[in-house]
Structure 1
Amino acid sequence: MPESPFDQRRYQVRHDWGTEGLGRLAPADVVVVVDVLRFSTTVTDAVARGEAVALDAEAHAASINGAAVAQAAGASGAVVLLGCLRNAAAVARVVLDLQHARGARTSIAVIAAGELAGREAGAPLRFAVEDQLGAGAIVDALGDLGVDHTSPEAASACEVFRGLRGAVRHLLTAGGSGQELLDRDARDEVLNASVVDAASVVPILRDGAFVAY
């Protein structure tokens, strides 16, 4: 693939949004899909209960964008992990473990899924504060483990999380995605998603399903 000013290939830790962002980046060894409300969080919780969760976009209609990013990442040949606020530190540990197993510098694309601005096919992607915070939490956790050669885009997401970490609960409930879920009487789900590093499990895509790493 020819080099692009936007592919972030010179950096180990990269960050962009949605399937288009994944395609914009240089191919990465590991792709972390971040769809905090709700795909990444619900699958993480299910895998923590011992379940295997099939990667089927139709089965995840409420978070079809997150499932679509995961499908595209899997098709690229990358190792695909699901990350969220609840397992950010655990994701960083798994990435470091994968790097040790490979015995080589490992490139990581942290992809915020964002939300579709409408239900119709081809609806544009909109900014989702929960995914910005989730991506930043993972980049921050990677930096804590010494994986800190980050692109400007990844570094910016990291600093957003660091600066707003104390307000994560409020931001998730006050943001658009959170308000939508609150209107559906799913406040507990939003609050659950806002707890940083509450989970130690990391879903990894194997044979078309997410299982515990």
Structure 2
Amino acid sequence: MTASPFDQSRYQLRFDWGRDGLTRLAPADVVVVVDVLRFSSTVSARVAGGETVAHDEAAHAVSRNGAAVASAAAATGAVVFLGSLRNATAVAKAVLAEQNRRAARTSVSIIAAGELNGPGDAAVLRFSVEDQLGAGAVFAALEAIGLDHSSPEAAAASEAFRGLRSAVRHLLTASGSGQELLDAGRRDEVLAAAVHDADETVPVLHDGVWRAYEAINAE
């Protein structure tokens, strides 16, 4: 099968958007799903607090989009992590641990969930600044520990986070998604999602449940 010019297969670190982006990229060993407002941040905080979170329950209560990307990623056989601003460095460490466990070069696709506008199958994926920054934070953390064979798309996301890191709180509250949540009385959730490296735990999808990656490895 001929490689697509858009599958980023020549790179270890890859980046795209939504379920279509996941399909567009070459299959990866690890997929990190980033849905900052609110799927990744909410589940990450709950798992960091010692909970296990049923995927279907979180999908229904928090986000149909990020959850759908995670389900599609799991169907490929990849290890599926949830990444966000809150746990970016922890995700990078988990990716490195996974590579060490495999004792082989590990390919990583980071998928920004974006936002879906419209009903059902007619919904259109919208760019979301919070997911761009969340993905960039994970890429920057991966590069900091030496995993830096990045596609141009991944490198651009990383540099976006680096350049805007000091403004992340403002950007999340001022973004369309942030404003929508502020209008719904969820300001505290937006502010919590904007905290960089607040959590040291990485949710991994295992048998339909989000659990701490460290707990899975301890079994």
Counterpart in 2 of 1:209? 209
3-state SS, counterpart of residue 155 of structure 1: helix
Q: Give matches, 1:172-187, under 5 Å.
A: 172-187=172-187
- Give distance in 2, aligned partners of 1:93 and 1:27: 21
Contact 2:43/2:58, CA 8 A, preserved across alignment: no
- Give distance in 1, aligned partners of 2:147 and 2:9: 15
Amino acid paired to 1:194: A
Counterpart in 2 of 1:3? 3
Counterpart in 2 of 1:31? 31
Identity of aligned residues (%): 68
Counterpart in 2 of 1:48? 48
Q: Does 1:169 align with 2:178?
A: no
3-state SS, counterpart of residue 90 of structure 1: helix
Per the TM alignment, residue 120 of structure 1 is displaced from its structure 2 partner at its CA by 4.1
3-state SS, counterpart of residue 63 of structure 2: helix
- Give distance in 2, aligned partners of 1:202 and 1:2: 35
Counterpart in 1 of 2:216? none
**Unaligned residue ranges in structure 1 (runs of 5+):** none
Q: Give matches, 1:112-131, under 5 Å.
A: 112-131=112-131
Amino acid paired to 2:150: T
Counterpart in 1 of 2:69? 69
Q: How many residues align?
A: 213
Per the TM alignment, residue 63 of structure 1 is displaced from its structure 2 partner at its CA by 1.4
Per the TM alignment, residue 61 of structure 1 is displaced from its structure 2 partner at its CA by 5.1
- Give distance in 2, aligned partners of 1:8 and 1:56: 30
Amino acid paired to 2:123: A
Per the TM alignment, residue 59 of structure 1 is displaced from its structure 2 partner at its CA by 4.0
Amino acid paired to 1:165: R
Scaled by the length of structure 2, the TM-score of the pair is 0.95
Contact 1:32/1:109, CA 8 A, preserved across alignment: yes
Counterpart in 2 of 1:143? 143
Q: Does 1:88 align with 2:88?
A: yes
- Give distance in 2, aligned partners of 1:25 and 1:34: 16
**Unaligned residue ranges in structure 2 (runs of 5+):** 214-219
Counterpart in 2 of 1:100? 100
Deviations 1:158-213 (A, max 9, x none): 00000000000000000000000000010000000000001101000111110001
Scaled by the length of structure 1, the TM-score of the pair is 0.97
CA RMSD of aligned residues (A): 1.2
User: Greater shift after overlay, 1-10 or 52-61?
Assistant: 52-61
Per the TM alignment, residue 2 of structure 1 is displaced from its structure 2 partner at its CA by 3.3
User: Greater shift after overlay, 110-119 or 169-178?
Assistant: 110-119
Q: Structure 1 residues 94 and 156 mapped into 2: Cα distance closer, same or farther (>3 Å)?
A: same
- Give distance in 1, aligned partners of 2:60 and 2:142: 28
Q: Does 1:21 align with 2:16?
A: no
Amino acid paired to 1:139: F
- Give distance in 1, aligned partners of 2:52 and 2:174: 32
Amino acid paired to 2:187: R
Contact 1:55/1:210, CA 8 A, preserved across alignment: yes
Contact 2:88/2:141, CA 8 A, preserved across alignment: yes
Contact 1:57/1:64, CA 8 A, preserved across alignment: no
Bigger fraction of residues in helix: 2
Per the TM alignment, residue 49 of structure 1 is displaced from its structure 2 partner at its CA by 1.7
